[in-house]
Amino acid sequence: MKRLSGWDAVLLYSETPNVHMHTLKIAVIELDPDRRDFDIDAFRRVIHSRLYKLDPFCYQLVDIPMKFHHPMWRENCDVDLTYHIRPWRLPAPGGRRELDEAIGQIASTPLDRSRPLWEMYFVEGLANNRIAVVGKIHHALADGVAAANLLARGMDLAPEPATGRNRYAPDPAPSKAELVRSAFGDHLRQLGRIPRTVRYTAEGLGRVRRSNRKLSPQLTRPFTPPPTFMNHMITPERKFATATLALADIKETGKALGVTINDMVLALSAGALRKLLLRYDGKAEPLLASVPVSFDFSPERISGNYFTGMLVALPCDIEDPLERVQLAHDNAVDAKESHQLLGPELVSRWSAYFPPAPAEALFRWLASRDGQNKVLNLPISNVPGPREHGRVGGALVTEIYSVGPLTAGSGLNITVWSYVDQLNVSVLSDGITVDDPHEVTDAILDDFVELRRAAGLSEKLTVVESAMAQA
């Protein structure tokens, strides 16, 4: 047994009937001519053989009586792979649109908390002799870095360790008395950590007061984001869209403009959102994005959440693409410095003291409000994925997409994952924010072409292999 950290628990408490807190990982897999018989039963056997190194797949949530403390993970429990790994078949022609629509349907339902908090969907019917595996995992279980490491363990990115380790004995369920005693002891330990947490907070506030850094000229205290078409009480329905760019094109453009890949992601998002703001709202103002920043990049970590959200102003009001890139870069630098001054672990440290019942009530209230999000407009993530191709059961993984959850009052999420030579963009929306989430991905692609034109680079983009794009 181990207890959820305060930050893990907050991600659990923030889930409501219309705010689902699972993340999605999508792998497109090419079947060799001699592996066309690779079906869901074969895939279940592959996952079963790897459970010994996919520890979080065996975690089961255990609530504490009377919500006396944060829940715990029962680390070794029985896993019914027939339940957790499910079949799905796409309609013809089995291209990007069909797969994206299926992923939206998969994302629209919450995970069952009485079981380990993950599901996988074995998707057949994809064009060009491909299949897809859609993984749905609760954010309380793993953040982006942990999920990337978990994904690498699930693929054949390293030689198999010695056999004989793929069996385990399920842990017995704890008694209520054991749970209460453990919770009481942990509360005492947390009380002992309060002086260090207060000191960490005071030091951060002191650094901020002495600094002349601001969030941005447009968005100053109290950092209230503007109301937009994407900020409202979200619906339980989810819609999903993807796009693929060549990582080489992104790097070439970033090098020509003197900015990073992360700056490029923010600038392209700002340009795309500008188009949508003008279309839906008739005006484009600077937006406030929450950009996850990890403070534990250990390649061995496969569970838990060690990140915080850095608030970055998006220059959606700027028409000129080159000026927009430069301002996105400057705003990101300012936000990063302010974030470091305050202390990257500030929120996660204080979250240990969030009482479960009031926290759940607060998030239910926030999720039921039909108004703008007072903290941010949307989350935007950029996560570096594997730099070499992986395999599952010997079959080549050609593409990987990922997306985080929607948050209360924010009907859009943009997540970018790089994989080998690809920069893969995923967009998640609720049922009413946009007519079609491909409006967002199309706008990102259009903005990239406009940016390269303005930078004097070729408007013809490198073609990267994408089974979904070919269909």
| Catalytic residue positions, numbered | 139
User: SS3 letters for the chain?
Assistant: CEECCHHHHHHHHCCCCCCCCEEEEEEEEECCHHHCCCCHHHHHHHHHHHHHHCHHHHCEEECCHHHCCCCEEECCCCCCHHHHEEEEECCCCCCHHHHHHHHHHHHCCCCCCCCCCEEEEEEEEECCCEEEEEEEEECCCECHHHHHHHHHHHCCCCCCCCCCCCCCCCCCCCCHHHHHHHHHHHHHHHHHHHHHHHHHHHHHHHHHHHCCCCCCCCCCCCCCCCCCCCCCCCCCCEEEEEEEEEHHHHHHHHHHHCCCHHHHHHHHHHHHHHHHHHHHCCCCCCEEEEEEEECCCCCCCCCECCEEEEEEEECCCCCCHHHHHHHHHHHHHHHHHHHHHHCCCHHHHHHHHCCHHHHHHHHHHHHCCCCCCCCCCEEEEEEECCCCCCEECCEEEEEEEEECCCCCCCCEEEEEEEECCEEEEEEEEECCCCCCCHHHHHHHHHHHHHHHHHCCCCCCCCCCCCHHHHC
